[in-house]
Each structure stands twice: as structure tokens, then as C-alpha cells.
Homo-oligomer: A and B are copies of this chain.
């Protein structure tokens, strides 16, 4: 590939003759690794015009660079970066500009600090026993129909509507599918101005928290809970109270709050389902004590053991429940598409905030998902996943019993994971390191807990990405590691 002429500038402050300055630009680019062996240089005429210097100056600089092996001349084809050109050092730390600004101090490292403890190997697919949560199993995904829908959404007819900047409304086809197909399954009747598309569930929770919270406000969150939510609340400026869940999820007596975050249908990570009476109590309390409930309804599609319980939102008579849903668990996580459902005044605020932060989710993805839903591929995929997860769960159950591991929470509806307890005194973080060396990936539980009430003996075992045939051996390895660490 040719190096564009725009890659070259003569800055005012540099000393030396024009010829030596041109030479320095080229060598600097090669040494910095910007220009690679084999790349074509601009013509001497082109570079001369671009820099506003005479052509002979460039020609002389090029000749000099050829003699020093930075460039080679290939007759009428022009000049190329030489294959023998001095190489960029592999670790060119010394070449970084001096950093005069302490960015860590400027931002108080608030965001990197909040991310500490996130640790999932990028190459998790290379591990034979990945009991890892929330990733796609490529053997279950309906690649062919996804591709067909994406292709249809790439068609010329859809192009105009998908390439424009639009923030006032989302893709009407997808909104219709969510209103007609998805939400009714959760017992939710909503209208167009009550739904906002988001960049995945994380973005939905962040938008809700940012609209509803801030300094002087008070949030209540489940303990343990989804670590991504805890991070959001930690940097929101609001006070945060963690309330321990029991086998029925969030208990009904809560400390004073402006906003309560709950995973009522499928507590994360314990898998508990909040019973109907407790749900009604929570909504009564919300009305009596004037707080708002944010319901993260992740993974409801994976209820394969019993019919799914209705969403909290379906029982909401006062517009007090903000509902967050996502296609990340049911289609695939890297797609980044979720949604919020709430009263129009809330949705308007969240839409304006979304617009300020990222404008809108990419149009092409919205339309692809709309087709995937409308053509029924989504239902077929969910069905296939349910059947596979039901079988895997049985294999997990058998292996866990056989090896005498302790289940701390499994829920009664399905899902894709078990919440496990190691024996007293075991720290599951070093355990996870030991297991990783043995090809087994587990998720240590510490990150789910309020740091002030840290628990280290829990861990999560997901079965959404592991081949069923691998499960027994993987569980056996965990049991052996636990026996050694006891």
C-alpha cells in the first residue's frame, strides 16, 4: 500500500536544511513503525507539491535515503521503504512523548479503579473447560439466518433509513417486534414512547441509573449482584446500600431508597426467583415510600424448567418500574443491543441522555435484529438454546452430585449457571488460578459482593459455553482442586 502524501508535514520549528528535514520525516516514520517495508513512497513530484518545495530537494533527499538503505528505488515504479530498512524497536518505550499530565490524578482514576478485578481470559475458547458466563456457544447460534437477516438489512432499500443520524425514534420495525413479540411474553403492555433501544443491558442500566441517581440520592442494590451494576452505582455519586438476598431474592424490608435495583425473576448470581407475594410487597413499598424500581430482567428466555414468572413491570400500576431487557444473552453479547421500558417522561430523559452520550445504537444492527425476530429465527434459536441448556444442566447436576460439590443457588426456572459454595476457608480466587492452569475456567464470586462485606468462598459455574461431554471431567477437576485446597 502506498504511503499517502498527507503523512508528511514540515513543521515550523525544526532546524536543518529542507533536504535534511525531509530525510528526517522519512526515517522517523520508518523507525516509529508507521512506514513499513515494501510500502510505496509518494512520487518526488507529488511530495514536492504537497510540501511546497522544489522537486530536486525531494529527489536529493530520496537518493540519500536509498544510499542509507531506508528506501529502495525500483526504476520507473518509484521509491519503496526498503526491506532492509532499520526496524522499529519491539518495545519502543523510550520514544513515547514525555507525559506532562498526570491523567490518573486528573480523573482520580475513578473508572479504572471501578474496573479492577475484572479478569476473564480473552482466549477463553481455547480452554477445554470454560464454565464461563454469558458468552456465545457457536454450536448453538443460527449463523446462517443471522447472516441472511444482516444481508437483507444491508440492502439498498434499507440503506437510507439505516445510515442517517436519528435520535428521536428508534427503528420502527424493531420497536414493533419488541412491543408485540417480546414484552407480551413478560406480561408487559407498552407503547412506542415507553421503549428506548440501548447499547446492550449494561448501557440500559447505566442510562437508568444516570437519569435517576446522582449526589444526594440513595440506591439499594442486591448483595451479591451483577458487578457491572455495582460499578455504575459506585461512580454515580449516589449513596448505595447493599441488601443481602435470601433464597427468595431481595427481602421485602429495605432501607430508605430513591431507587431499588433488582433481578427479581432470576437473581444474579444466585438464580433465586422472587415469589409473587414478595413482588407485590415490593411494589406496595415503592408506592408507600415513594421509590422507583429498576428491574434487570436478564436471561428470562432461559426458563426451561417452569413457565417464566411475570416481570415485576407487568404488575406495575403506578409507573414505578423501569424495565431493562437485552438480546445479548439470547442472540450474542458482542452485538450490543438492549432496551429500556418505562413511563414516557422517563424514556424522554433517557433518550436525551443517550443522544448526548452516543447518539443511538447503529441502525444496521437494529434492523438485523428486527428481521431476525420477525422471521421467527429468534424463537427457533431460543428454543434450541433451551433444549441444549436443559440437557447440560442435567449433566451438571449429576456431576455436581457425584463429586459432592455444594450448590449455593440454582433457582427453579433454568438459566445458564449454578452459584456454588466452596468449603469454609477456601478463597476461590487462587482456586480459579490453579484451575486455569488445569484448563478449567470458573468465575470467583468476590466481585459480586459488596466490598465492605467481602465473601471469597463462592464461585459461579456457567454451562452456556461448555460442551456437555466436557462437563463431567471439568467438574471432576474442580472437585480435585477443592480437595487439595481444603
Query: A34 touching B150 by the CB < 8 A rule?
Result: no
Q: Which of A31-56 contact B (CB under 8 A)?
A: 32, 34-36, 50
Contacts A98-B317, A136-B164, A162-B334 hold; do A184 and B356 have CB atoms under 8 A apart?
Answer: no
A159 pairs with B138, CB closer than 8 A: yes
A421 at the interface (CB under 8 A from B): no
Taking the complex as formed, is A430 at the interface, i.e. its CB lies under 8 A from any CB of chain B?
Answer: no
Q: Which one of B154, B166, B203, B277 lies within 8 Å of A359 (CB-CB)?
A: B203
Say which one of A238-246, A340-348, A441-449 lies at the interface with B.
A340-348
* Chain A residues close to B by CB (< 8 Å): 1, 3-7, 9, 11-13, 28-29, 32, 34-36, 50, 92, 96-104, 106-107, 109-112, 114-115, 118, 122, 124-125, 134-136, 138, 141, 143, 146-147, 150-151, 154, 156, 159-160, 162-169, 179-181, 183-187, 189, 191, 199-200, 202-203, 206, 211-212, 228, 231-232, 235, 258, 276-277, 280, 287, 290, 292, 307-308, 310, 314-320, 328, 332-336, 342-343, 345-346, 348-350, 352-353, 355-365, 376, 379
**A169 partner residues in chain B, CB cutoff 8 A:** 122
In the assembled complex, the Cα of A206 lies from the Cα of B350 at a distance in Å of 16
CA distance A96 to B318 in the complex (A): 10
By CB atoms of chain B within 10 A, which of A11, A183, A334, A355 has the most?
A: A334
Instruction: Please report the C-alpha to C-alpha distance between residue A118 and residue B112 in the assembled complex, in whole angstroms.
Output: 34
* Contacting pair A154 B150 (CB below 8 A): yes
Bound form: Cα–Cα A356–B100 in Å: 27
Which partner residue on chain B sits nearest A211 by CB separation?
A: B107
Which of B5, B135, B189, B348 is close to A34, meaning CB atoms less than 8 Å apart?
A: B189
Contact across chains for B101 and A36 when beta carbons are under 8 A apart: no
Q: Does the CB pair B112–A376 fall under 8 Å?
A: no
Q: Which chain B residue shows the least CB distance to A183?
A: B34
User: What chain B residues lie within 8 Å of A143 (beta carbons)?
Assistant: 156, 159
Supplied contacts A99-B343, A103-B343, 7 more A-B pairs, CB within 8 Å: A11-B315, A29-B189, A102-B345, A104-B345, A151-B151, A203-B357, A335-B364
Whether A184 contacts B34 in the complex (CB less than 8 A), given A98-B318, A138-B159, comes out as yes
Cβ contacts under 8 Å, A98 to chain B:
317-319
Query: Contact between A199 and B202 (Cβ–Cβ < 8 Å)?
Result: no
Whether A356 touches B114, Cβ cut-off 8 Å, given contacts A164-B136, A362-B335, is: yes
- Shortest CB-to-CB span from A5 to chain B, Å, is 8
Q: Which residue of B is nearest A310, CB measured? A: B9
Question: Of residues A28, A50, A151, A357, which shows the largest number of chain B Cβ atoms within 10 Å of its Cβ?
Answer: A357
**Minimum Cβ distance to chain B for residue A276 (Å):** 5
Q: Is the CB of A280 within 8 A of B150?
A: no
A-B contact pairs, 9 of them (CB 8 A): A1-B376, A29-B189, A100-B290, A164-B333, A165-B333, A199-B359, A334-B360, A336-B358, A362-B365
**A428–B115 Cα gap in the complex (Å)?**
48
Question: Which of B181, B356, B360 makes the CB contact (< 8 A) with A232?
Answer: B356
A109 CB, min distance to chain B CBs, angstroms: 7
Q: Which residues of chain B have C-beta atoms less than 8 A from A206's C-beta?
A: 356-358
In contact, A122 and B180 (Cβ under 8 angstroms): no
Alpha-carbon distance between A168 and B109 when the two chains are bound, in angstroms = 16
Whether the Cβ atoms of B334 and A97 lie closer than 8 Å is no
Q: How far is the CB of A87 from chain B (nearest CB, A)?
A: 15
C-alpha gap A342/B100 in the complex (Å) = 12
A308 and B6: CB pair below 8 A?
yes
Residue of chain B at shortest CB distance from A353: B111
**Given A159-B143, A334-B162, A361-B336, A103–B349 Cβ distance below 8 Å?**
yes
Which of B184, B316, B336 contacts A3 (CB under 8 A)? B184
